[in-house]
Amino acid sequence: MGESPEIDWSTASVEGGTLSVQLSGELPRGWNGRFNAVERLIDQAGGRWTRVGLAKGVVTVAKVQDGAEPDLRHFLESVVLQVNADLDLDRAPPGGGDDEQSTAERQRAADRAMAARFRAFADPAS
């Protein structure tokens, strides 16, 4: 597999308050669905933007309020990073392998990543 998907901010355009920005890299199967799920889970718009969508490798965000750019950038970058981590893109074996085994490996990797995120909540002073 090639590069993990990333936001190509050089392609950003805004028309009528709607941001459109392309993703670079190959979008593997399941990436769009996971993007939508993660986006809904961590939505932090707070009225500064509405509907986030993804179609054909282009992220769109409607009704972006002036001044929300840094927060929206952080939000979208966080979603993309989380999706890439959830799908374990950086450690995917070349050639794919057996689907059942690959699914089990992805689940174990996702479980490990989730456990690590929970462990990060630990108070270092304890």
Tens-digit pLDDT profile for residues 50-85: 889 999 999 999 999 999 999 999 999 999 999 999
At 78 the three-state DSSP class reads helix
Q: What is the pLDDT of residues 7-61, one digit of tens each?
A: 999 999 999 999 999 999 889 999 999 999 999 888 766 889 988 999 999 999 9
- Top pLDDT among 58 and 103 is at 58
Give the structural domain span for 39. 6-119
In a domain, 115, yes or no: yes
* pTM greater than the 0.95 cutoff: no
Structure confidence at residue 125 (pLDDT): 59
In a domain, 125, yes or no: no
Q: What are phi and psi of 79, to 5 degrees?
A: -60, -50
Determine how β-strand 52-55 pairs with β-strand 58-61: antiparallel
In a domain, 61, yes or no: yes
Give me the sheet containing 58-61, strands edge to edge.
Answer: 6-15, 18-24, 58-61, 52-55
In a domain, 35, yes or no: yes
In a domain, 126, yes or no: no
In a domain, 106, yes or no: yes
The domain that holds 34 is classified in CATH as 3.30.1360
Domain count within the chain: 1
In a domain, 124, yes or no: no
In a domain, 77, yes or no: yes
